[in-house]
Amino acid sequence: MRMESSVIRASAAVMAGILVFAVVASPVQAIKPFYAQLEAKYVKPDSKESSEIALMIAIQQAGCTICHPGDDKHKLSRYGGQLAMRISKFDKGDKEKIQKALDEVGALRSDPYDPKSPTFSELFRQGKLPPPQVR
């Protein structure tokens, strides 16, 4: 009877550990200040314009996947890769540097092989997100 009690306690402890890990470990976590600055730049919550409303909804639904498509936070979209070349996790407190990086990347073509493709900023102004291709 005593051994049975120990097994039950051990099993309960393992299950509790698994549950805590599952709750704490989310598949993709962008650095919140980067996401907040992206929202500050492109989301206009009081807008009545359909493209701006569409963009606000798309950004809220996409969240971290704008830069990190899929479940691997180390994979980056073209957009996320370009941002990563300009800012790092150590810049999360530097709003000016983040905004400068967003401006620089926004001026780039969404398809570097097509000179007629819209820039990332143009896509956002059209209410669209950058393509999720992984670099």
Check residue 87 and give its pLDDT. Answer: 95
pLDDT tens per residue across span 50-106: 888 988 999 999 888 899 888 777 889 999 999 999 999 999 999 999 999 999 999
- 3-class SS of residue 119: strand
What is the phi/psi pair of residue 94, to 5°?
-105, 85
Residue 128 CB partners (closer than 8 Å, separation 6+) = 54, 55, 58
35-64 mean pLDDT? 90
Check residue 26 and give its pLDDT. Answer: 37
- Name residue 77's beta-bridge partners: 134
pLDDT tens per residue across span 98-118: 999 999 999 999 999 999 999
